[in-house]
Amino acid sequence: MSKPAARASSRVSFWRAGHSPTLVAAFLYFNFTFMAWVLLGPLAVQIAADLKLSAAEQGLMIATPLLAGAILRVAMGMLADRLQPRLAGAIGQVVVIAALMAVWLIGVDSYAEVLALGVVLGLAGASFAAALRLASGIYPPEHRGLALGITGAGNFGTVLAAFFGPSLAAAFGWQNVLGMALVPLILAFAYYLLAARDGDEPAPVRVSADYLRVLRNHDALWFMFFYAVSFGGFVGLASFLTVYFATEFGLTAVSAGYCAALCCCIGSVFRPFGVRFAERLGGIRALAILYGTAAATLVLAAVGLPSALSALVVFGIAMLALGMANGAVFQVVPQRFRQEMSEMTAMIGMAGAVGGFLLVASLGFSHQAGGSYRAGFLMFAACAVIALIGLAVVKTRWRSLWRGAAARA
């Protein structure tokens, strides 16, 4: 059979092997919960002006949903284990929709209240665990990687938040944008209830000790750090770039949002190519190239960029590298952790959200203390360099452990 015919046959077998309505439901769930998770970032310029927030307060406000999502991520994974993914995802979505509706109706009038809103939106980020578990559980093992890749493409929600959030806030007020976000959330949830179903084999019930056990493995800690750099960098920049473009170049919130949306779009579109890149070069070599690229662009941002156009180019490359690295990490993880993928997915996802929190918080405090974002960008560039060093340290041992994958790593 020719290669094109083989690929076509593989695509047909994939759609027949699982339940495509469930996959679509998981994708939409992921997409719009991701949008809600990062929503405070694109609205931050207008919120800060309304509530008179300092740079540090603005950064902490944007970072709060990321930290809350990290803390709740493992709990959501355990809930999906006990109740099965479909019911756990439904519970998470009901809580997010109800809380967001209450906040919209009551209003947000203080910094403390907007931080509380951030905690609520953190649950939207945590609920990714249920969507990913739902998509992978409905497909056989040989097709789960593609199913997870399609569902994970829902990080395009960052683009929706950045593109529409500031312009809608300029027209209707940022508090009303919270109510508008309910429309796609409710529509996606309705489809989810109608179309999604759990896999035929129930997921094994895990307890907290199962998740903590993986932390005893040094390789698990390295993977968590790698994803804290790649996904943390992606979601952190996606949340903060609207503020950066507005502050550094004097753009309006709407124009800054469009710039951020373009950068987010590049990172989201190229995420699936990270898997192919890792398959062709080997996961470790691919990650080394991507982390090196990310570190270089963040150093350029720290040194200072002369115009919004140059910033678009630099951050577009940074988001491309970080987005591809997200895919590459999950190309490598199954090679090392075949039996603990559920626990690893939860722990790595938690670490990624923590990385985003640290990046955003450091950028806010950096600007507050020194009047620029230099220290924050340099800190995260240093993390990318440490990831490079980490890859060099562990690659020999990993290759000896991955028998079948040794040649590809």
Residue 396 sits in a domain of what CATH number? 1.20.1250.20
pLDDT computed for residue 230 by the predictor: 92
Q: Is residue 408 part of a domain?
A: no
pLDDT computed for residue 147 by the predictor: 72
d(CA 275, CA 164): 29
Number of domains in the chain: 1
Please, which residues have CB within 8 angstroms of residue 361's CB and are 6 or more apart in sequence? 59, 60, 63
Q: Phi/psi zone of residue 68: left (φ > 0), alpha (ψ -120 to 50 degrees), beta?
A: alpha
3-class DSSP state for residue 138? coil
Choose among 73, 182, 166: nearest CA to 127: 73
d(CA 199, CA 151): 16
Q: Is residue 3 part of a domain?
A: no
**DSSP 8-state secondary structure symbol assigned to residue 155:** G
Q: Is residue 158 part of a domain?
A: yes
| Host domain of residue 163 | 20-196+208-401
DSSP conformation letters of 212-277: HHGGGSHHHHHHHHHHHHHHHHHHHHHHHHHHHHHHHH---HHHHHHHHHHHHHHHHHHHHHHHHH
In angstroms, the Cα distances linking 25 to 89, 305, 355 are 11, 41, 28
d(CA 33, CA 94): 12
Two tokens, residue 387: 């990831």
Beta carbons of 130 and 73 less than 8 angstroms apart: no
pLDDT computed for residue 185 by the predictor: 94
d(CA 275, CA 152): 12
Q: Is residue 406 part of a domain?
A: no
Please, which residues have CB within 8 angstroms of residue 7's CB and are 6 or more apart in sequence? none
Q: Is residue 13 part of a domain?
A: no
Q: Is residue 170 part of a domain?
A: yes
Question: What is the enclosing helix (H) or strand (E) of 5?
Answer: helix 3-17
pLDDT computed for residue 4 by the predictor: 47
Neighbours of 114 (CB within 10 A): 23
Please, which residues have CB within 8 angstroms of residue 311's CB and are 6 or more apart in sequence? 244, 245, 248, 249, 259, 301, 305
Two tokens, residue 305: 């960029």
Q: Is residue 61 part of a domain?
A: yes
Q: What is the pLDDT along the chain (409 residues), one digit of tens a residue?
A: 444 444 444 555 766 777 778 888 888 998 899 899 999 999 999 999 999 999 899 999 999 999 998 888 878 877 877 788 888 889 989 988 998 898 899 888 899 999 999 998 998 888 877 887 787 777 776 666 667 777 776 678 889 999 999 999 999 999 999 999 999 999 999 999 998 888 766 666 665 666 667 677 777 788 889 999 999 999 999 999 999 999 999 999 999 999 999 999 998 888 878 877 887 888 788 999 999 999 999 999 999 899 999 999 999 999 999 998 988 887 777 666 656 666 777 778 888 889 999 999 999 999 998 889 999 999 999 999 999 998 888 776 666 665 444 444 4
Beta carbons of 359 and 70 less than 8 angstroms apart: no
Q: Is residue 12 part of a domain?
A: no
Residue with tokens 């035929």, as numbered in its chain: 200
pLDDT computed for residue 8 by the predictor: 46
